[in-house]
Amino acid sequence: MKDDSEYEPLTSKTLPDRLKNLASVTSLIGKQSEEWKVTEVGDGNLNLVFVVHGKEASLIVKQALPYVRIVGDSWPLPLRRAFFEHETLTRQAARDPGSVPKIHYFNEKQAIIVMEMLSPHLILRKKLISGEYVKGLAKTLGNFCARTAFRGSDLSLPTSEKKKDTALFQGNVELMGITENLIFTDPYFDAEMNHHTEGLEPIIETLRSDVSLKREAQKMLLKFTANTETLLHGDLHSGSVMCTDSETKIIDPEFGFYGPIGFDIGMLISNFLMAYFSQPGHRSQENLEDYQDWILSVIEEIYSTFTSEFSNLWHNERHGILFPKSLFEGQGHSSEAALCDMLQHIWSDALGVCGIEMHRRILSLAHNADFEDISDLKIRSRLEARNLLMGRQLILERDQIKNISALQVLARKYNSETHL
């Protein structure tokens, strides 16, 4: 494959021929391309994904399509999102080594990334629906959020480098546009692509007639679009995490953008809360409580790991222009209170994003299997109602809910209530 040949989507049939001359590929899965087994496995919303099995190893080949896969070519989406995915992956690999798949090859014009095959990893969302436990899950995710956030910010990077990178990622405008519309705005009015489970109408009416709620959601949008605090994954839900029973990797950062530090951690917590609320639709009473308790404990540990690693980096890697040591330690003054304020700022933003994500996954275009897989619509809507109403409280009270314990208390409370 030449680097400058015209873009053409891969198929299982054309893939071997097109990749067989890449040394970075054949050195791993062998030169006998006729022996490769190729399967298209993409189940996401946007891209083609192939597994390529050679004799001794396997690879993932991911290719962007010039449109949104779940909608079709009526919704064009530029191929350069593969470029931003590649750029984000390389930065994440440097900032939190081992957290993301290794990249073997990248072709910008073809929008192709060839990367490490994660096996026997499965998408975390599926595991959460199945009721499986993953050892070390929270530690990996909490550290990932802390390290990528801190090391991509003006707390750490030389500010000229950070500004150059911020400028680069402003180019990921169409994917930021998806977030701006589908996440922050569409849930709060009758947008064209919205859909929801029958029976939720009274709750939706409650949300859309709450002017304070819409105001606060839009304040979060202002932060999303204008607070370029650090480079974020941008789509960090349980479908962007792959695990064995003891290893966790983060994938799919094509929504990478510079935004508020709390964004990734907020979206992540949100998706665990949705897993939590949806559990009664997936298992019998017997195993329910233990598994829900485990999910809440994962949320707690993600956040405690995040704060602990962020604090560690604050003390040991604070070389950027923000909160310089010359103003604190250099004058014999502690920077601990400044760190606490920063963590509080991150927490507040995270709760805001968390609540909004809880809304959009029920009301906007792209729903979660956690709820969608529940075929009994009465049960589904009852569980979704809890999720929607807790989301509302998080958005409105993000400065009053002081810590992760308070969040857990709230989750248990909504989990025990019936609103429909």
What is each CA distance from 388 to 98, 163, 250, 278, in whole angstroms? 35, 37, 27, 12
Q: Which residue, 155 or 374, has its beta carbon nearer to a second copy?
A: 155
Give the largest Cα separation in the chain, rounded: 68
Residues 6+ apart with CB under 8 A from 178: 255
Q: Which residue, 98 or 158, has its beta carbon nearer to a second copy?
A: 158
Which of the residues 21 through 80 are near a second copy (CB under 8 A)? none
Q: Which residue, 193 or 409, has its beta carbon nearer to a second copy?
A: 193
Two tokens at 81?
């999102």
Q: Which stretch binds a second copy (CB under 8 A): 5-13, 41-49, 182-190, 267-275?
A: 182-190
- H/E segment holding residue 37: strand 37-40
Q: Which residue, 50 or 84, has its beta carbon nearer to a second copy?
A: 84
> Distance between CA 61 and CA 113 in Å, rounded?
6
Q: Which stretch binds a second copy (CB under 8 A): 116-124, 151-159, 382-390, 407-415?
A: 151-159
In sequence order, what E strands does 228-331 have? 230-232, 241-243, 248-250, 257-259
Q: Which residue, 176 or 383, has its beta carbon nearer to a second copy?
A: 176
Q: Which residue, 165 or 300, has its beta carbon nearer to a second copy?
A: 165
By the rule CB under 8 A, 133 interacts with a second copy: no
Select the residue interacting with a second copy from 36, 84, 150, 188 (CB under 8 A). Answer: 188
Select the residue interacting with a second copy from 173, 193, 377, 409 (CB under 8 A). Answer: 173
Residues 6+ apart with CB under 8 A from 73: 66, 67
Q: Which residue, 97 or 330, has its beta carbon nearer to a second copy?
A: 330
- Minimum CB separation of residue 153 from a second copy in Å reads 8
> Distance between CA 353 and CA 86 in Å, rounded?
25
By the rule CB under 8 A, 154 interacts with a second copy: yes
> Distance between CA 54 and CA 32 in Å, rounded?
8
Q: Which residue, 75 or 189, has its beta carbon nearer to a second copy?
A: 189
- Minimum CB separation of residue 399 from a second copy in Å reads 12
Tell me, letter by letter, the H, E, C secondary structure of 112-179: EEEEECCCCCEEHHHHHHHCCCCCCHHHHHHHHHHHHHHHCCCCCCCHHHHHHHHHHHCCCHHHHHHH
Two tokens at 32?
């006998």
By the rule CB under 8 A, 338 interacts with a second copy: yes
Which of the residues 76 through 105 are near a second copy (CB under 8 A)? none
What is each CA distance from 123 to 119, 132, 137, in whole angstroms? 11, 11, 12
- Minimum CB separation of residue 322 from a second copy in Å reads 6
Q: Is 72 helix (H, G, I), strand (E, B) or coil?
A: strand
Binding mask 296-335 for a second copy (x = CB under 8 A): -------------------------xxxx-xxx-xx-xxx
**Short-list 395, 378, 387, CA closest to 413:** 387
Q: Which stretch binds a second copy (CB under 8 A): 20-28, 94-102, 337-345, 353-361?
A: 337-345
By the rule CB under 8 A, 136 interacts with a second copy: no
- Minimum CB separation of residue 242 from a second copy in Å reads 31
By the rule CB under 8 A, 337 interacts with a second copy: yes
Residues 3, 109: contact at Cβ < 8 Å? yes
Residues 6+ apart with CB under 8 A from 32: 54, 55
- Minimum CB separation of residue 100 from a second copy in Å reads 24
> Distance between CA 402 and CA 419 in Å, rounded?
25
Binding mask 190-229 for a second copy (x = CB under 8 A): -x----------------xx-xx-xx--xx-xx--xxxxx
Residues contributing to the site for a second copy (CB under 8 A): 153-154, 159-160, 163-164, 166-168, 170-171, 173, 176-177, 180-181, 185, 188-189, 191, 208-209, 211-212, 214-215, 218-219, 221-222, 225-229, 321-324, 326-328, 330-331, 333-335, 337-338, 341
